[in-house]
Amino acid sequence: MIAIASNEILPDHLRGCVVAIGNFDGLHRGHQHLLAIAKDVADAQKKPWGILTFEPHPRSYFRPQEPVFRLTPAALKRRLAKALGAAFVMSIAFDEALANSTPEDFIKTHLIQGLGLSHIVTGYDFHFGKGRKGGSDTLREQGIQQNFGVTVVDQVTDDGDSNAPYSSSSIRSSLRRGHMRQAAHELGYDWMVMGEVVHGDKRGRTIGFPTANIILEPGAEPYRGIYAVTVRDAAGSEKWQGAAYFGDRPTFNTNRTFLEVFLLDQDIDLYGRTLIVRFVDLVRGDKTFKSVEELVAQMQLDCTKVRKILRAQTVSYLPLAKAQAAGTI
């Protein structure tokens, strides 16, 4: 799969493609349904297919003072897209020029000239261009004039939950409350983060729980507490089980937010490596302890619970869940 920035040229063998367009934060089950339709159209036309998305998230442009809790930053989104079979992901810079372009200019510049597309697939609620004036009707009209096909996908709902739509906002809400299994149900895989291991204060090693410290993107705010996780090296095939902590270390009055991962039954130097941490389930919420000894005793109990949770894992039939379990994303 090829990752392409908006100032780069799409290779000739990908031009005439079928493209799915949207923010696709999370690539949740609703997004996956849309991408499956794009793939079906591409297969029928014997064309390559890919994704057109935006960086940064448009909300970051319009409200820069409010960090966005992104479910899948760009690097993770590309991994998921590759697992679903996309031939490319093109990221258009969401800047002043794009925000002020007319819908017709956007189509001409990015879809026709940039991609030379044959067909576009998008959701019913996708809007684009200055003032969000462009929508599905605009695409259909321009498709007739410019000779490309258009498929607009209706809202995808969860039949098991009163027909509630799959939604990035709903998933963020579940993660903020620590409802990891509900988030995984809507995502179609366990939520995960990716980041480089950096040096911390090494306090965990002094109490028998050495941890890998990972800096998350601004805005990331899952529920503060202890989680059962699996961990893998983003550049290789190594995979481990672990317990992760997200929070402010209230026992030590640090006033900083951390993601710390303790690998079970391992003692590995991970500094400088980029890890993918998969959140399987919440063990407990964050709390303050009266002493380090009380904290260590609780951490030992936490690790016992983590092992039990990880032993009970089952693999979903959904494609990204299977790829995640196999360690390919």
Domain ranges (residues) in the chain: 2-158, 190-326
Q: Where are the alpha helices (DSSP H) in 46-90?
A: 58-62, 74-83
117 vs 255, more confident: 117
Span 260-286, mean pLDDT? 93
Burial tier of 97 (Cβ tally within 10 Å: 0-12, 13-18, 19+): exposed
Structure tokens at 118: 């044959």
How far is residue 219's CA from residue 70's CA, in Å, rounded to a whole number?
7
Say yes or no to pLDDT of 79 above 60: yes
The model's confidence at residue 252, banded by pLDDT at 50, 70 and 90, is: very low
Say yes or no to pLDDT of 111 above 50: yes
Q: 51 pairs with which residues across the strands?
A: 20, 89
76 vs 199, more confident: 76
Structure tokens at 129: 């261009």
CATH code of 190-326, in short, is 2.40.30.30
Structure tokens at 284: 């407990």
2-158 CATH fold = Rossmann fold (3.40.50)
Give per-residue pLDDT as tens, 33-74.
999 999 999 999 999 999 999 998 888 888 988 889 999 999
How far is residue 21's CA from residue 110's CA, in Å, rounded to a whole number?
11
Helix/strand/coil for 60: helix
Number of alpha helices (DSSP H) and beta strands (DSSP E) in the chain = 11, 14
Give per-residue pLDDT as tens, 194-217.
999 988 665 556 566 888 999 888
Span 162-167, mean pLDDT? 77
Span 227-233, mean pLDDT? 96
Span 267-278, mean pLDDT? 91
